Amino acid sequence: MQRLRTFLDHHCDDQALVAVIDGLMVACKDIAYRLHMGSLAGVLGSAEQENVQGECQKKLDVISNDLIKYCLKGMPEVKGMASEEEADPVACNPDGEFLVLFDPLDGSSNIDVNVTVGTIFSVLKASANDDATHESTYLQSGKQQVAAGYVLYGPSTLLVLTTGNGTHTFTLDPRVGEFFLQREHVKVPATTKEFAINMSNQRFWLPQMQNYVADLLAGEEGPLGKRYNMRWIASMVAEIHRILTRGGIFMYPYDSREPQKPGKLRLMYEGNPMSMLIEQAGGKASTAFEDIVAVEPTSIHQRVSVVMGSADEVETVIRYHA
């Protein structure tokens, strides 16, 4: 079996980037350990405070954020970082080459019921004169990512990673504390019969999305001509991992509850890194109107609507919105 570091040494020419990914995994292994200990580690329940997004934080949201910050701050390759849980970016090493953006614990509402959660990360290049405390330094489109990935904390702990040369999955062996290559060059099937969306928001969607989902539910007798199954886990990491494993389409579209926000999910910590992983696996990621990675960010906490997964299915959604 091939270790993660060995794989990266052979597939990534930038050893500084390899060191960043390797360092991130130190924090993720610690998060995995605490999650698997559950209540025995005292990590369950609410932190009784809100993050910058106005969301109630779980204890492990705070712990995961602190663990990743601690690891990144000690890395000479990292110039700065931005977290979903932090209002402002944090400077690390002034001579660092990279910026790291992350969602420390995606799907944290699932923690207390022991359902899959994960860590999502995106890596961007930094320029020598960039000020890592300034938000503008991080406002690069998804096309400029040099690496992206997530760690899924489930029955086993998995890393899904791309450095721009395909999407690859690794499994953590807790006996030795190392990730080992599981699947190289993952491919998402172009078509699917499985979709994931939060149907409780249906009345708030645009008419085009309502029409599309109605046609999905019409099955063989509808215009799409096939029967679909619906899934919903309320964890983007889990939803995208299912798609990378067997195909499908995941949607968190624009809705009218907060008209000033273009979507629910965050562009920089969720939309962009997941888009890179899906596209490197042959899938497609869109807002339903344009490619997610083409969106020019205006804020590190910017939101975006999301439609991603099997390419033919995403193209169908885009046609409904054309």
Residue-wise pLDDT tens digits, 91-117: 999 999 999 999 999 987 777 888 899
pLDDT of amino acid 41: 63
The answer to whether the annotation marks 200 as part of a ligand binding site is no
Residue-wise pLDDT tens digits, 122-140: 999 999 999 999 999 999 9
Taking a C-beta distance cutoff of 8 angstroms, is the pair 292, 286 a contact? yes
Residue-wise pLDDT tens digits, 246-281: 999 999 999 999 888 889 999 999 999 999 999 999
Q: How far is Cα 279 from Cα 221, in angstroms, rounded to an integer?
A: 31
Where are the domains positioned within the chain? Answer: 4-183, 194-321
Residue 146, Cβ neighbours under 10 Å: how many? 19
pLDDT interval class at 60 (50, 70, 90)? confident
pLDDT, mean of residues 165-191: 97
The answer to whether the annotation marks 13 as part of a ligand binding site is no
Residue-wise pLDDT tens digits, 200-243: 999 999 999 999 999 999 999 999 999 999 999 999 999 999 99
Compare 87 and 42 and report the one with higher pLDDT.
87
pLDDT of amino acid 56: 58
The answer to whether the annotation marks 108 as part of a ligand binding site is yes
Sign of the CA dihedral 148, 31, 87, 303?
Answer: positive
Q: Which residue has the tokens 């999955």?
A: 169
Mean pLDDT of the chain: 93
The answer to whether the annotation marks 136 as part of a ligand binding site is no
Instruction: Please give the CATH number for the structural domain made up of 194-321.
Output: 3.40.190.80
pLDDT of amino acid 148: 98
pLDDT interval class at 52 (50, 70, 90)? low
Q: Does CATH number 3.30.540.10 belong to domain 4-183? A: yes
Q: What is the pTM of this model?
A: 0.94
How much of the chain, in percent, has pLDDT values that exceed 90?
85
Beta-ladder partners of 251? 307
Cα Dmax for the chain:
61
The answer to whether the annotation marks 313 as part of a ligand binding site is no
Which of 30-34, 50-54, 82-86, 111-115 has the least mean pLDDT?
50-54
pLDDT of amino acid 144: 98
pLDDT interval class at 58 (50, 70, 90)? low
pLDDT interval class at 173 (50, 70, 90)? very high
H or E element: which one contains 307? strand 306-309
pLDDT, mean of residues 294-305: 97
pLDDT interval class at 61 (50, 70, 90)? confident
Identify the three-state secondary structure at position 192: coil
The answer to whether the annotation marks 35 as part of a ligand binding site is no
pLDDT, mean of residues 126-155: 96
The answer to whether the annotation marks 84 as part of a ligand binding site is yes
Nearest to 18 by CA among 163, 134, 131: 163
Distance of CA 320 to the CA centre of its chain: 25
Residue-wise pLDDT tens digits, 6-30: 999 999 999 999 999 999 999 999 9
Compare 50 and 19 and report the one with higher pLDDT.
19
pLDDT at 145 over 60: yes
Q: How far is Cα 231 from Cα 221, in angstroms, rounded to an integer?
A: 21
The answer to whether the annotation marks 198 as part of a ligand binding site is yes
Nearest to 194 by CA among 72, 24, 310, 303: 310
Identify the three-state secondary structure at position 63: helix
